[in-house]
Amino acid sequence: MRGARGARRATGARSALGSLRAALTTLTAVTALATVTACGGTEHGSGAEHGSRADVGKGARTGPAATQDPTRIPGVGDRWQRRIPADSRQVVAVYGDGRDSSSATVVLYAREGSTWDRVHSWPAHNGKKGWTTNHHEGDNRSPVGVFTLSDAGGVLNDPGSKLPYTRSAAFAAPRWWAKSYWHDFDYVIAIDYNRVKGTPPNDPTRPEGQGKGGGIWLHMDHGSGTSACVSLSESAMAYLLRTLDPDRHPVVVMGDWADLKRSR
């Protein structure tokens, strides 16, 4: 009898230990999943992700908001800050998640007097392989830098753009591209990288040569990385077209977080 009772007790102890181990394993898995989710998932444009990115310019990545200098664009170090033209009163800041990441946040800032105010923000995509300070044709990385914004266009009718707008079916993405890409160029804003200002965004002239790349635009998003452009939602593009004003000398300041914060 005693032997049978001892065996039952041992069996019960092993069962309880197994249950405890199973519970701990489950708890560990749930905790790991929660950590990954809290760090931002890969589902672009989800409510949680947009909420965290909407804090850009409020101290989320650049330190307490109270310590920010209101005369500077948040998260942008001296190297790029000093390249913002003195007469510019609108900045589209593109904060890339990482050097090799295709996810980004776009924030529009406007200057009144000497103070930059955060106007709006949106989730976005950049080059599928991330960012580079030495962009060249076909590298699938977006160029880091400060560039003027002078011309716009697209397949769709002008939504009320303040920038010169060229409507043309010639902007349409080739139909042999995946269907999700077909509306990429319904609205576009040319980034003045290796192009002639004052011409339609699809003017192929490249003053610095073909090898330096070109045709880099703000355009509509297809849900993943681009060849080198920055892509946003249709509503975001329409908003920028109606808001960016040549009289306010708009520029884009773009790059990954680490490079943008460089002081030299």
- The pLDDT assigned to 264 comes to 86
Domain contains 183: yes
CA Rg, the chain, in Å? Answer: 25
Query: Looking at the 3D structure of the chain, how many domains does it have?
Result: 1
**pTM of the predicted model over 0.85:** no
Domain contains 39: no
Indicate the average pLDDT of the chain: 83
Q: Which residues lie closer than 8 Å to 50 by C-beta, 6 or more apart?
A: 123
In this structure, of 45-49, 146-150, 245-249, the range with the lowest mean pLDDT score is 45-49
| Enclosing H/E stretch for 37 | helix 2-38
Domain contains 129: yes
**Mean pLDDT in residue range 85-98:** 98
**Mean pLDDT in residue range 62-85:** 83
- The pLDDT assigned to 68 comes to 83
Q: Measured between alpha carbons, how far is residue 227 from residues 64, 72, 184, 199 in Å?
A: 35, 30, 12, 22
Domain contains 195: yes
Calculate the CA 227 to chain-centre distance: 14
**Mean pLDDT in residue range 49-77:** 62
- The pLDDT assigned to 27 comes to 34
Domain interval for residue 124: 78-261
Domain contains 109: yes
DSSP state of 233: -
- The pLDDT assigned to 54 comes to 42
Domain contains 188: yes
Q: Is the pLDDT of residue 34 over 60?
A: no
Domain contains 123: yes
Domain contains 171: yes
